Amino acid sequence: GLQMGVFLFLQLTAAGGIFCHGVHYLLENYLVRRIFEPVVQKYSVHSKGAVSSAGTREAQCNPKRKLSDGDVAEISTKLVSVVYAIVVTSAGVGVMWQARDDVMYGRSSIVKPFVPLIMWYFIYDLLAMFHSYCLRKNLTAERLSTRWTRFAKVKWIFIIHHFVLFTGALLEVLGKLRPEGLADFTLGTLFFRELSNPFVLMAQVLKILNLEKSRLFKINGVTVMITFFVCRIINSPLFFLLFAWQHHALDFIAAARSMKLVCYIFVGLEMALEIYWFYGILRLAFQMARSGRKSK
């Protein structure tokens, strides 16, 4: 009944929260320094452009270089997000496979238990970003309201993004986003968007480690652009094409008229954010390519 549904929802949401915060605690307090500080000490000088070879690498190490508490907190946040992205992408593939025969009415057994399981991540991620921001900016002694105000001024786009996704997930759980059994495939495509995130996040981790000049960073950057464009920019248009093909014989006008207003609002907000971020990725890539040519 209703009580059992609410109890299951709370259980799954709590499980997601315990997992996110638990993994973050282990990473920040025990694992990140042990794993990444030796990397920073070994390659921090190389990342500034020094020419290294097998014979001179030890002489160029920087054993005094340490990760700050803010660096450790931010890397921990990124790594938790990598795990989350892998889990969500895998679920997205499963949902789309189960509902592939009908993108509008195909059902998947994964959706109902999975959405509440990942809902808490959006709250965790904002809290974790706020925590690492305060450590990196030395704001821990400031009033809480002051810290949140400064954080919101810098990270407002992420706050909007997480609010939109959390609201969409909550409406899905409450059955208000779509009629029962409608468009499980759509949620699968939203989950599949996360495929680009591990590469975006690893680029940020490599930057914290001062490895922007490394070959790994460049390869990862190309992968970011490809996966972000495929999974986040043309994802929704491809879904609309499949919908028009299966239900309206490729009559795009009829397909557009049959979509609900809430779908346009939600997808429109998400697409605006994705295009904004993709523009930022391209601009950064061109800047790095230009600076690399100048240094030669």
* Alpha helix ranges (H) inside 49-110: 69-98
Tell me the backbone φ, ψ of residue 286, rounded to 5 degrees: -65, -40
For each successive 10 residues of the chain (296 residues), what is the average pLDDT?
66 91 96 90 58 45 76 96 95 92 85 85 94 93 94 92 83 66 78 92 92 90 94 86 84 81 79 88 85 66
- Reduce the DSSP state of residue 137 to 3 states and report it: coil
pTM for the model:
0.82
Q: Which of 159, 155, 84, 157 is nearest to 119 (CA)?
A: 84
3-state secondary structure of 288: helix
Give the DSSP H or E segment for 289.
helix 261-295
What sign does the dihedral 15-17-22-24 (CA atoms) show? Answer: positive
pLDDT of residue 52: 45
Integer Cα distance of 145 and 188 in angstroms? 38
In this predicted structure, what is the pLDDT of residue 50?
47
Residue 55 is predicted with a pLDDT of 45
Angle, vertex CA 86, rays to CA 90 and CA 136, nearest 5: 160
